Amino acid sequence: PGILLSETSTTYDAYQWYYEDVILSGETSSTITPTQDGDYFLEVTSGSCTFTSNNIDLITCPTSIDFDGVDDYVQTSSVIDDVSGVSSMAWVNLKNTFSAKGYVLGEDDFKLYVNNDLTLVASVTTDQGIFSVTTTNTITTGEWVHLAIIYDSSSLKIYINGSEVASNSSILGTLELNSTDFFIGKNPAGNLDYLEGYVQEVKGFGKALTATQLQEQVYQTIVSNNGNVMGEIT
């Protein structure tokens, strides 16, 4: 959704887009915004010469990622770029068969996981040691729930559906910028504690969001605007 196909190498006399080898009526400019999955290609004309592009196979991105609890995970670069604060969040739907500890998201110095009793644990590592906080609240399997953790240099908080449910305000030391990559679905420290469930709308911020800013994020969905990531109020 939101992708734009464009021919930018030069200017041709005529353009014609095809979908599944069939002419797309009216699509005779150098750009096209596809509306469905499938193969697209462009035919261009310059004088008496005609050229065609390679096929471009488009698929719709899944709205959520399915983690099997065995070996599935996502890995990307760290979101920690400010030692004074960091925030991470996601929508999570644990499978009804969930029964073992599973990491939702994070990096080695800042992470969130679900215990087998469905309580949540967040931890942060500073130059003074490892500090954590555990919820008394539990989450329900088979239901979508918004989970977030925020560290603001002195406290570590867990939020469920935008409401604070647990905090540790006795954090000592400074969060260091030597964290691992950011992981979704497994323990950042190794190949263990895989999550069994679905995850979508993962967001990471290199700062501590306020409670109001977090609640705004709960009610924003991620959309693509010509390849740019944007938020849309729901």
- Rounded-to-integer distance, Cα 110 and Cα 132, Å: 10
pLDDT of residue 232: 85
Give one word for 164, left, alpha or beta, with left for phi > 0 and alpha for psi -120 to 50.
beta
φ, ψ (nearest 5 deg) of residue 216:
-65, -40
pLDDT of residue 142: 95
**Residues in the chain, pLDDT under 50:** none
